[in-house]
Structure 1
């Protein structure tokens, strides 16, 4: 790790810390291929894909999900 002092970061105003986190996250999201996927995650993704292919009608449209989330807020 470089010479960034975590204690100095924690002293920043909350808005600046949020901006810093967003910048860090954006830099991570810019290269998703560098994030390793574990074997367990691969198995789970394969399981979900197989389930969807077997019963595609069991899924829900985005509008349904959004509406149910709106009801809970």
Structure 2
């Protein structure tokens, strides 16, 4: 059986669409209580933001840049 590290290495080598599908399936597999209404709203929001990036309406930034902006706001 492959180790978690090996699985992660192989998963990260997948094309982005395949990684997104895998991430979605992994999250779906987690068992926890979720407010269905909130889940629907968050899913709609995530898809809206994804579509804004895809069509060029929004320019994404790196995680490092986002954290730097947050830190600057907190100073």
Q: Under a length normalisation based on structure 2, what TM-score does the superposition of the two structures give?
A: 0.40
From the CA coordinates, give the structure whose radius of gyration is larger.
1
Q: Under a length normalisation based on structure 1, what TM-score does the superposition of the two structures give?
A: 0.41
